Structure 1
Amino acid sequence: MLKNVFPPYESVLSYFRLYSSRKMPKKKSASSSKEKEENKVQNPVTLDKSGNIMIKILAKPGAKLNAITGISEEGVGVQINAPPVEGEANTELIQYISSILKVRKSDVSLDRGSRSRNKTLIVTSSGSIGVDIVLEKLKAEINS
């Protein structure tokens, strides 16, 4: 009775040999897009679509003094002299970054990360400051 239900062993093997020898073609477009992403250097300071400057921040609240600890691909490390309570660290961060960049506090706003250590700040200015100038000012603050 079981012999009628299952196919013969030879037919299963021939089916397996027929379909296992086929190989799928590789997509070249996917690998080329990955190579482009790897070659592209990530910068923590970028321009958004509307022309505003976006700064990725790695915040460290509760420090003894305000300071920039470093600039990496992930973001700009900033120590903040305020506790992470009720937005105090966020307002201190905005005040500190605006003093470094020499722009008004109203030109610097928090885009993302109000309750996270990974934040994104947006600097809106009337063309008086660019990405390169922001990076130079942040690097100068590290050295001071």
Structure 2
Amino acid sequence: MSNSRLLTRFIQSCCNVLIRSFLRIKTSGLQPHRAFLQLEPLFKHCNGRGFSSPRKIKHTRNYTTRANTMPKDNKTKKSQSKDTPISPEVPAGPVSRDKTGCVTIAIHAKPGAKQNAVTDVSTEAVGVAIAAPPSDGEANAELVWYLSRVLELKKSQVTLDKGCKSREKVVKLSASVSPEEVLERLKKEAANS
């Protein structure tokens, strides 16, 4: 048998196995993560001259019953004792530290302004006017450049973490500065603007 015929029979065999197993999933309601356990290695069906018919495939395991699933634990939530006082949640503010220890700043971007400026510093976000249009990432690049200048950091130490296509953004600072120092510099820039 030529190599091209052998390859086409192999591809047909693979497709038939996959189609049959997905039809079995659809009709039996089998859980998707267990469906792939039914697929045997396709090379197992290879004999010396070619590939066997997909009708001859025998599956060694049958996961069609739902009795094989693990029972869920009925854990009851422990209620807090009345003796322990509940501490009020302190708002994190626009500047905080993330799990990795980097300082993050929540920013409300206002692209298309005449000049770059920190407009306001609230408890939720820092308002920043950006003198660039919100297209092709120009406003994001301008925001990173402006914040690096305001915070007196290298441009490589200021990165946009979240919100590439949104006005609500999160900027991550990889420099060794404290959140209080960053907040102080932002408030100082807001007062000057």
TM class by smaller structure: 0.7 to 0.9
What is the 5 A alignment of 1:1-144?
Answer: 29=80, 36=87, 39-125=89-175, 127=176, 129-144=177-192
Runs of 5+ consecutive residues of structure 2 not aligned to the other structure: 1-77, 81-85
Q: Which amino acid aligns with 1:142?
A: A
Give the number of aligned pairs. Answer: 112
CA distance in 1, matches of 2:144, 2:125: 16
Of all paired residues, the percent bearing the same amino acid is 45
CA distance in 1, matches of 2:89, 2:167: 28
Note the alpha carbon deviations across 1:31-66, whole angstroms, 9 max, x for none.
xxxx64x54123100001111000000000000110
CA distance in 2, matches of 1:72, 1:123: 19
> Greater relative contact order (Cα 8 A, min sep 6): structure 1 or 2?
1
Q: Which has the higher strand share?
A: 1
Largest Rg, 1 or 2: 2
CA distance in 2, matches of 1:121, 1:57: 7
Q: Which amino acid aligns with 1:40?
A: V
Q: What RMSD, in angstroms, separates the aligned Cα atoms of the two structures?
A: 1.9
User: If the length of structure 2 is used for normalisation, what is the TM-score?
Assistant: 0.55
Query: What residue is the counterpart of 2:74 in the other structure?
Result: none
